[in-house]
Amino acid sequence: MPRKVNYGPDYDDNYDEYDYGYEVDENETPPQKETIKHSVWRCSICTYDNDETMSSCDICGVLHGPLLNNSIYDKKRTANIFDLKSSRVSSTVVGRDEAVKVSSMRSDSSNQSTEKGKHNRLDEINILKNIEVGPPAGSRTSDNCSASVQEGWLGHVDESSVAVNLRSRGKSSLSLMPKERNVMVDDSSSSRNGGEANSLTSNLENISFAAKSRHSNDAKPGRAISRAQYKPEKWMLPEKAEHSLTQLNLAIVGHVDSGKSTLSGRLLHLLGRISQKEMHKYEKEAKLQGKGSFAYAWALDESAEERERGITMTVAVAYFDSKRYHVVVLDSPGHKDFVPNMITGATQADASILVIDASIGSFEAGMDGTKGQTREHAQLIRSFGIDQLIVAVNKMDAVDYSKERFDLIISQLGAFLRSCGFKDSSVSWIPLSAVENQNLVSAPSDFRLSWYLGPNLLDAIDSFQPPTREFSKPLIMPICDVIKSPSQGQVSACGKLEAGAVRSGSKLLILVLVMPSATIATVRSLERDSQACPIGRAGDNIAVSLNGIDGNHVMAGGVLCHPDFPIAFAKHLELKVLVLDGATPILIGSQLEFHIHHAKEAARVARISFLLDSKTGKVVKKAPRCILAKQSAVVEVILQEAVCVEEFSKCKVLGRVFLRTLGRTVAVGIVTRIVEEQQ
Ligand code: GTP
Ligand code: MG
């Protein structure tokens, strides 16, 4: 059964800390607190008590009023959930550690204000499609190569734990491991002493020489070698003869309550990853709590709060195998308060399933310009570079498997997806019912769906193009979570390997550079799918257990990288951004939340350099005062604290950003230039 482990930044902790930049007149009388008490209406989908003034449910967005025929819908849903007729159950029982959960966030909707967008039209502008990545002005020169450096980070020594201080970019040494247990090599001292590291083997001397050459070559230590000049070692490349399945990280996204967790749970059950015994347990427990219809979702929604509220709050990770892929399911939360958590999961994805609730009123709620997460999720995943999409039109049972309804959804959502930059040829549309098990892993058995002749969901997953991986580039692993075991003095960094590879072995000394602390650690062991593994390669979600580093120097939002290819750490950046339709304008001085891979920082817009034509990317105005919805521009932002970052042209995953404010994504963009790197 899948297990969820909370990790990642708790976004809610600092949610209120930011000054959003709105000027407050101190003499102004503070607004009076609302004292009028409104009566409430109970949402028939999620049972949340909404204020009577709300026209749709604040939790699930379902419209209040005649649009929704909930009584029929609910009866059907409750009747079907216990009818597990077509489950083919394998005896495989998957341990609770088969899945982990990324990024945690406490629920607190109180500080999320609803932003009323003015535009609800479907003709959204392209997100990043037309934004060209020009040659970054003032980009750092980094082409003098040291041929010996690659040998420097892999050695074959007996010491199990070695800590090496690296004085990178003028940072002082941060390694704090006890000296009696670890051999410390200070690269600067090794420079002075001609690389003398008496107690170390010759391989470690290589390391210090490599560091020395790097440092003496450039005023910016560690950035002297271009990533393009890196030569991978043989073990880093997957063997052609390998019969193992390609890993596919699959983000399940969509509006709240569309059935993402139910669909994921049902798939896992059908594919034998959740045993019948476990399923019975969920059914019993869910029924006892009056949440019978959530039995499948409980396989993914593990926390008491998630189960009680009937919503996913953090991303759950689970695994199953299809014919072609080892699929890593990233079941995301759909509620608007948890978009930052959804982002944490979706940034790791290679492809995505956008789950739509076909029932009357619910599809429309998801498409709502201000509250609908269907639109925001689609825009976000496209801006993360995901271009392969399955649209799972779920709950078809609630609309009598109507072809007309399915076609209407295709025409409305299809136009929107096109405007986000998805190509028609890369989007598959699958009508299904997770609860009634129609069209998930086999052709539909319900005659009402006989009009559909396309592939089932599992076949559609197998039709995804295999993701391209950067196996032969230097290691990059953005850290999305850190697991510490203080009793054993161990720390593990978890995340998806975006580039390169890493390995472990008792006879090997594998060094990695942990940013932003600029500390070198050794790799103790690796885990993939909660199982020890000798090698992790680009595309794998792994946990890297580290030695020789203080746990406080490993943090979510940081990056594990190759010691000779440290990634940048900066707070002053130039970006190309596109302000989303319906979003509030961005002004000079606007205070925003800046998100990049697994890091989040408060940011101030310091300059708006140019307004660009969002179709051609050409400059249409210099130094405008604001960027309106649907406009794109080049801006400079200054972050409160520096983040690990690269220019998009050099490393896509570390160069994609998006800006949020008041609980809403206002712009997506890319880093075009690092204006000033932290020293
Ligand atoms: P969040 O994670 O909170 O965004 O919700 P979710 O998208 O994961 O939805 P979840 O799986 O929790 O399901 C929400 C409700 O929809 C539950 O009551 C499910 O039983 C119901 N549901 C899911 N799939 C179907 C379906 O195919 N048909 C019907 N009728 N109901 C469904
Ligand atoms: Mg869910």
Please tell me the distance from the alpha carbon of residue 504 to that of residue 533, in angstroms, as a whole number.
8
Average pLDDT rounded to a whole number, residues 472-484: 93
Average pLDDT rounded to a whole number, residues 375-385: 89
Instruction: Look at residue 6 in the predicted model and tell me its pLDDT.
Output: 35
Please tell me the distance from the alpha carbon of residue 217 to that of residue 224, in angstroms, as a whole number.
7
Please tell me the distance from the alpha carbon of residue 358 to that of residue 354, in angstroms, as a whole number.
12
Instruction: Look at residue 566 in the predicted model and tell me its pLDDT.
Output: 93
Q: Is the separation of the CB atoms in 431 and 406 below 8 Å? A: yes
Instruction: Look at residue 233 in the predicted model and tell me its pLDDT.
Output: 80
Average pLDDT rounded to a whole number, residues 329-344: 90
Instruction: Look at residue 369 in the predicted model and tell me its pLDDT.
Output: 74
Q: Which atom of ligand 1 is nearest to the CA of 254?
A: 7
pLDDT band at 372, cuts 50/70/90? confident
The yes-or-no verdict on residue 3 having pLDDT over 60 is no
Query: What spacing in Å lies between the alpha carbon of 299 and ligand 2's midpoint?
Result: 10
Q: Which atom of ligand 1 is nearest to the CA of 73?
A: 30
Query: What spacing in Å lies between the alpha carbon of 266 and ligand 2's midpoint?
Result: 12
The yes-or-no verdict on residue 459 having pLDDT over 90 is yes
Angle, to 10 degrees, between the axis of helix 339-346 and the axis of helix 373-383? 30
pLDDT band at 22, cuts 50/70/90? very low
CA angle (657, 59, 19) in 5-degree steps: 45
Residue bearing the bigger pLDDT, 586 or 31: 586
Query: What spacing in Å lies between the alpha carbon of 256 and ligand 1's midpoint?
Result: 8
Instruction: Look at residue 56 in the predicted model and tell me its pLDDT.
Output: 57
Find the ligand nearest to 436 CA: 1
Query: What spacing in Å lies between the alpha carbon of 619 and ligand 1's midpoint?
Result: 46
Which of 119, 134, 129, 124 lies closest to 615, judged by CA?
A: 129
The structure tokens listed for 541 are 């979600």
Q: Is the separation of the CB atoms in 63 and 55 below 8 Å? A: yes
pLDDT digits (tens, 9 = 90+) for 489-501: 789 999 999 999 9
pLDDT digits (tens, 9 = 90+) for 286-300: 999 898 899 999 999
Query: What spacing in Å lies between the alpha carbon of 258 and ligand 1's midpoint?
Result: 5
- 264 in contact with ligand 1, CB cutoff 6 A: no
Average pLDDT rounded to a whole number, residues 442-456: 97
The yes-or-no verdict on residue 303 having pLDDT over 60 is yes
Instruction: Look at residue 44 in the predicted model and tell me its pLDDT.
Output: 54
Report which protein residue has its CA nearest ligand 1's atom 24.
259
The yes-or-no verdict on residue 456 having pLDDT over 60 is yes
The structure tokens listed for 94 are 């998957």
pLDDT digits (tens, 9 = 90+) for 632-676: 999 999 999 999 999 999 998 999 999 999 888 899 999 999 999
Which of 274-294 are b and which e, b meaning 16 or more Cβ less than 10 Å from the residue's Cβ?
bbbebbebbbeebeeeebbbb
Cis-peptide, bond into residue 516, ω within 30° of zero: yes
The yes-or-no verdict on residue 178 having pLDDT over 60 is no
The 3-state secondary structure of 368-384 reads CCCCCHHHHHHHHHHHC
Q: What is the DSSP string of 156-204?
A: --S-S-EEEE--GGGPPP-----TTTSEEEEHHHHHHTTT--TTS-HHH
The yes-or-no verdict on residue 614 having pLDDT over 70 is yes
Average pLDDT rounded to a whole number, residues 416-440: 96
Find the ligand nearest to 260 CA: 1
The yes-or-no verdict on residue 561 having pLDDT over 90 is yes
Report which protein residue has its CA nearest ligand 1's atom 2.
312
CA angle (655, 661, 664) in 5-degree steps: 90
Instruction: Look at residue 601 in the predicted model and tell me its pLDDT.
Output: 95
Average pLDDT rounded to a whole number, residues 539-553: 91
pLDDT digits (tens, 9 = 90+) for 188-237: 333 333 333 233 223 322 332 233 333 333 334 445 567 777 888 877 88
The yes-or-no verdict on residue 150 having pLDDT over 80 is no
Which of 618-643 are b and which e, b meaning 16 or more Cβ less than 10 Å from the residue's Cβ?
eeeeeebebbebbbbbbbbbbbeebb
Instruction: Look at residue 236 in the predicted model and tell me its pLDDT.
Output: 83
The yes-or-no verdict on residue 110 having pLDDT over 90 is no
Query: What spacing in Å lies between the alpha carbon of 234 and ligand 2's midpoint?
Result: 41
- 76 in contact with ligand 1, CB cutoff 6 A: yes
Query: What spacing in Å lies between the alpha carbon of 361 and ligand 1's midpoint?
Result: 15
The yes-or-no verdict on residue 172 having pLDDT over 50 is no
Q: Which of 263-267, 518-522, 563-567 has the highest mean pLDDT?
A: 263-267
Instruction: Look at residue 528 in the predicted model and tell me its pLDDT.
Output: 86
Instruction: Look at residue 215 in the predicted model and tell me its pLDDT.
Output: 31
Question: What are the distances in angstroms from CA 187 to CA 173, 178, 184, 260, 549?
Answer: 10, 18, 9, 50, 16
Instruction: Look at residue 487 in the predicted model and tell me its pLDDT.
Output: 72
Find the ligand nearest to 259 CA: 1
Whole-prediction pTM value?
Answer: 0.68
- 334 in contact with ligand 1, CB cutoff 6 A: yes
- 509 in contact with ligand 1, CB cutoff 6 A: no
Q: Which of 47-56, 234-243, 350-359, 373-382 has the highest mean pLDDT?
A: 350-359
The yes-or-no verdict on residue 591 having pLDDT over 80 is yes
pLDDT digits (tens, 9 = 90+) for 43-71: 554 455 666 666 655 554 555 543 333 33
Instruction: Look at residue 211 in the predicted model and tell me its pLDDT.
Output: 32
Q: What is the mean pLDDT of the chain?
A: 73
Q: Which atom of ligand 1 is nearest to the CA of 265?
A: 11
Pocket test for ligand 1, best of 77, 306, 359 (most atoms within 8 A of CB): 77
Q: Which atom of ligand 1 is nearest to the CA of 297?
A: 11
Instruction: Look at residue 51 in the predicted model and tell me its pLDDT.
Output: 64
Alpha helices by DSSP H, 198-248:
202-217
Which of 208, 206, 202 lies closest to 158, judged by CA?
A: 202
The yes-or-no verdict on residue 314 having pLDDT over 80 is yes
Q: Which atom of ligand 1 is nearest to the CA of 311?
A: 3
- 297 in contact with ligand 1, CB cutoff 6 A: yes
Amino acid symbol at 160: S
Query: 54 φ, ψ to 5°?
Result: -80, 130
Report which protein residue has its CA nearest ligand 1's atom 23.
259
The yes-or-no verdict on residue 309 having pLDDT over 70 is yes
Report which protein residue has its CA nearest ligand 1's atom 14.
257
The structure tokens listed for 533 are 């593994």
- 433 in contact with ligand 1, CB cutoff 6 A: yes
Pocket test for ligand 1, best of 435, 449, 457 (most atoms within 8 A of CB): 435
The yes-or-no verdict on residue 29 having pLDDT over 50 is no
Instruction: Look at residue 491 in the predicted model and tell me its pLDDT.
Output: 93
Burial class (CB in 10 A: 0-12, 13-18, 19+), 216: exposed
Query: What spacing in Å lies between the alpha carbon of 294 and ligand 1's midpoint?
Result: 7
pLDDT band at 531, cuts 50/70/90? confident
- 293 in contact with ligand 1, CB cutoff 6 A: yes
Question: What are the distances in angstroms from CA 11 to CA 20, 24, 271, 623?
Answer: 16, 25, 34, 33
Instruction: Look at residue 385 in the predicted model and tell me its pLDDT.
Output: 86
Please tell me the distance from the alpha carbon of residue 314 to that of residue 199, in angstroms, as a whole number.
47
Instruction: Look at residue 36 in the predicted model and tell me its pLDDT.
Output: 39
Please tell me the distance from the alpha carbon of residue 63 to that of residue 73, in angstroms, as a whole number.
14
- 333 in contact with ligand 1, CB cutoff 6 A: yes
Report which protein residue has its CA nearest ligand 1's atom 28.
395
Residue bearing the bigger pLDDT, 11 or 447: 447
Instruction: Look at residue 434 in the predicted model and tell me its pLDDT.
Output: 97
Instruction: Look at residue 259 in the predicted model and tell me its pLDDT.
Output: 97
Instruction: Look at residue 508 in the predicted model and tell me its pLDDT.
Output: 77
